[in-house]
Structure 1
Amino acid sequence: MAEKKSSPGATLAGLSLVGAGLAHFVAPQLFESMTKPAFPRDTDRHIKTNGTIETALGVGLLIPKTRKLAAVGGLGYIAYLGVNAARNK
């Protein structure tokens, strides 16, 4: 089986997501104002959950073998955020 090659775009997206995900733990206050409308109850827990998901998706994008799965997971994550934002409007 041929080895999958790394793509500069996927690498940049992966590193960006990992950075954003880890930032949820380093500076959670930066995410409170955008997280609270979608997750008004237990916002701090959801900030950490979102940080974990974003970090995992970013790592998935960095690994060529898991890139497609991470992309599908990213679409699911966007849907999850959208549904919660709409539900708590």
Structure 2
Amino acid sequence: MRKKVADAGLRSAGVLIAASGVAHFVVPSVFVFISRWLFPKDTKTMVQINGAAETAIGVAIVNRRTRVWGILGLLGYAAYLGDRVVRDVIRRIGVSRR
């Protein structure tokens, strides 16, 4: 029973992540608006790359055979975006690197 619930939860999460990725292509203006401060150079291209990554990660999580790779991809993607946020905050508050 727990296994079925966990599987359903992971499938649902994968579908939501993939849908978010597809949304990057359907309504890119929303994601350009959100992403412009993280990706000030070539924001539209970065929105497309992030949309493709989220779509692939979501699809991988939905499928049991590729789920581990999808979760690893999600962890890497989250680390990448987290790094971008931290770098932007550091840039905004003017912390110098020595």
TM bucket, shorter chain: 0.7 to 0.9
Higher RCO (C-alpha 8 Å, min separation 6): 1
1:80 aligned partner: 80
> Residues of 2 paired with 1:60 and 1:12: CA distance?
12
RMSD between aligned residues: 1.5
Residues 23-51 of structure 1 show CA distances to partners (whole Å, capped at 9, x for unaligned) of 00010011122211111110000000000
Report the CA distance between 1:69 and its aligned residue.
1.2
Given that 1:20 and 1:55 are in contact with CA atoms closer than 8 Å, whether structure 2 keeps it comes out as yes
Give aligned-pair identity as a percent: 39
Q: For residue 37 of structure 2, give the secondary structure of its aligned residue in structure 1.
A: coil
Report the CA distance between 1:82 and its aligned residue.
1.2
Length-normalised TM-score, structure 2? 0.80
Query: For structure 2, which runs of at least 5 residues remain unmatched after alignment?
Result: 90-98
> Residues of 1 paired with 2:72 and 2:38: CA distance?
22
Aligned-partner residue type, residue 26 of structure 2 = V
Structure 1 residue runs of 4 or more that deviate by more than 6 Å after TM superposition: none
Report the CA distance between 1:87 and its aligned residue.
1.8
Q: For residue 69 of structure 1, give the secondary structure of its aligned residue in structure 2.
A: helix
Q: For residue 88 of structure 1, give the secondary structure of its aligned residue in structure 2.
A: helix
2:30 aligned partner: 30
Aligned counterparts, 1:34-45, within 5 A: 34-45=34-45
> Residues of 1 paired with 2:88 and 2:33: CA distance?
14
Aligned residues: 85
Residues 34-74 of structure 1 show CA distances to partners (whole Å, capped at 9, x for unaligned) of 21111111000000000000000001001101111111110
